Amino acid sequence: MTTTDRSGRVIDRHRLLARLQELGEIGKEPSGGRTRLALTSEDKEARDRVVMWLEEAGAQVRVDRIGNIYGLVDGEVRDAPVMIGSHIDTVPCAGAYDGCYGVVAGIEVLQTLIQRRERLRRRVIVAAFTNEEGVRFAPDLLGSRVLAKDTALNDALAISARDGALVGEELQRIGYAGETSPWELLPGVFVELHIEQGPLLDAAGIPIGVVEAVQGHSWWRVTIEGAANHAGTTPMDARRDAGAAAMSLATKIMRRASDAHVPNVATVGTMTLEPNVINIVPGRATFTIDFRDHRNETLRNAERQLEEGLRELQGMGLRTSSECVSRHAPVRFDAGLCALLEALSAELGLPARRMLSGASHDAQMMAGVCPTAMIFVPSHLGISHNPREHTEPDALARGADLLLYTVLRLASDAGGRDGIAGI
């Protein structure tokens, strides 16, 4: 490693900030937000910009069959490259940072390595993954999911959007149906830099989060059926009130999460009563539950408690059904890599805190491929997926500096899993 600059100001912060701003202009709306759903013309424009910057940086550019974009710089060996990156698709009316920060900082790292003529033992690759947000095409994390073989390539290409478009056809249309095999450049280690999207680092005034795990989630749709009846004439003890049953179960779930943290967080985000009339006892209630936790066992406990709650309601003469809409097991990141990130933060004089990610990220898929970890930087007031998303320029530059140091350390090591765990 030839970088000895300890000032923590080693990347070109002006270029980093200017590019982030430029990318944030693509798909911009009068409201101040930007919308670049995956594989739309706006996404194409942003992709073209990323490719242009990679070429400007002197990186080789590849696009794989699921549309993931890679910029790479060669090392002495081809095996087990060091991969960094994130995504540039957005939710509707998004902020300018989210995944864009990880991609633009990745390009900045690559450009810095090339300009400084760093001698690298291992290849370094920056990736921009396809359809991370999952707004237009479900499931989310699609590009990294294909790499991790969680979804087969052909199945991914055949996914259709709500607007009827197919992933494969849209990739052709925007010119990003690449020829590289998604598994040709599989990394030996992956690090994703991202804004926290939560309030913890900002509130604590800590510049760096070392992410140890991503919360898993378990989403349910619950239906309770009783009997609709006259609200004036039906005595309380003669009712089979589906609304009251749904509310009491929802309250019980919420109380367990706040009092016993089973699970970490629980949300009843929707509830519909039928017939939804002021003077009729509800005959039917449908609601959703979002359980999240970083411990799979706790997530299972919460699911068991939901089942018990539903059985209790059945004992009271109500019919119930429940359907799991989506489930991701929690993911733990590589302990050796987390320790390395912490040590390098200390070398740069940046206080760091270990934490969990509440949101999903491509890194959770990459954790199934190779040792993986994430770096978080503070999000102002924890606001994200919103035009008011903001991270201070200093904080953005510090995160990118840490990413550069991390890549330099990892790329100077020829080992795979053992090499990294041994750091």
CB 23 within 8 A of CB 152: no
Query: Coil, helix or strand for 60?
Result: strand
Question: Residue 202: CA atoms inside 13 Å, Cβ hemisphere, count?
Answer: 17
Residue 106 as a binder of Zn ion (CB under 5 A): the answer is no
Residue 413 as a binder of Zn ion (CB under 5 A): the answer is no
Q: Report in angstroms how near the CB of residue 389 gets to Zn ion at its nearest.
A: 11
Residue 118 as a binder of Zn ion (CB under 5 A): the answer is no
Total number of residues that touch Zn ion (CB under 5 A): 2
CB 17 within 8 A of CB 396: yes
User: Beta-strand (E) ranges in 307-398?
Assistant: 319-328, 331-332, 352-357, 372-377
Q: Report in angstroms how near the CB of residue 99 gets to Zn ion at its nearest.
A: 4
Q: For residues 284 and 328, which CB has a smaller minimum distance to Zn ion in the complex?
A: 328
Q: For residues 98 and 225, which CB has a smaller minimum distance to Zn ion in the complex?
A: 98
Q: For residues 100 and 242, which CB has a smaller minimum distance to Zn ion in the complex?
A: 100
Query: Tokens standing for 305?
Result: 């408690």
Residue 64 as a binder of Zn ion (CB under 5 A): the answer is no
Q: For residues 220 and 376, which CB has a smaller minimum distance to Zn ion in the complex?
A: 376
Question: Residue 131: CA atoms inside 13 Å, Cβ hemisphere, count?
Answer: 27
Residue 334 as a binder of Zn ion (CB under 5 A): the answer is no
Our measurement of the distance from residue 270's CA atom to the centroid of its chain's CA atoms, rounded to an integer in Å, reads: 23
Q: For residues 40 and 384, which CB has a smaller minimum distance to Zn ion in the complex?
A: 384
Q: For residues 99 and 106, which CB has a smaller minimum distance to Zn ion in the complex?
A: 99
CB 126 within 8 A of CB 19: no
- Residue 214: partners with Cβ closer than 8 Å, 6 or more residues away: 294, 330, 331, 333, 356, 357, 359, 360, 361, 363, 364, 374
Residue 143 as a binder of Zn ion (CB under 5 A): the answer is no
- The residue range among 36-44, 98-106, 112-120, 320-328 that interacts with Zn ion, by the rule CB under 5 A, is 98-106
Residue 98 as a binder of Zn ion (CB under 5 A): the answer is yes
Q: Which residue's Cβ lies closest to Zn ion?
A: 99
Residue 140 as a binder of Zn ion (CB under 5 A): the answer is no
CA gap 97, 51 in Å, rounded: 18
Residue from the set 99, 168, 207, 419 that interacts with Zn ion by CB under 5 A = 99
Q: Report in angstroms how near the CB of residue 118 gets to Zn ion at its nearest.
A: 28
Residue 225 as a binder of Zn ion (CB under 5 A): the answer is no
CB 215 within 8 A of CB 357: yes
Q: Report in angstroms how near the CB of residue 365 gets to Zn ion at its nearest.
A: 13
Crossing angle of helices 296-315 and 242-260, rounded to 10°: 150
Q: Report in angstroms how near the CB of residue 40 gets to Zn ion at its nearest.
A: 17
Residues lying near Zn ion in the complex (CB under 5 A) are found at 98-99
